Amino acid sequence: MAGEVNDYSGLGRFLHKLAFSGSFVQKVVGDLDDSLFAKSGGGARAARPIFVTSLPRAGTTILLTALASLPELASHTYRDMPFVMAPML
């Protein structure tokens, strides 16, 4: 069946387990990303952030995809998972 754990490579399974082993890993990887790419990030800040929240199956994925396609906006997408705290890595 497509999408099962068996469809992941060994490296993919390792990264998945590592990323979701706890918040410590996410914070360390985020700090590493900040350190390595501090100068290339340009210090961009969101002047007026948009938060998309809802319950599952409410259309948030399509809304996120539509907003991310706009040139004025930037967003994490599900492709950035599981390391959303390290966008440059």
Quick: pLDDT tens for 9-31: 888 888 888 888 888 888 898 89
Q: How confident is the model at residue 1 (pLDDT cuts 50, 70, 90)?
A: very low
pLDDT, residue 70, reads: 92
- Name the pTM for this structure: 0.55
Give dist(CA 18, CA 65) in Å, integer: 27
pLDDT for the residue numbered 87: 76
Q: Give the dihedral sign, CA 44/65/81/27.
A: positive
Q: What's the alpha-carbon Rg for the chain, to the nearest Å? A: 16
Q: Provide the mean pLDDT of the chain.
A: 81
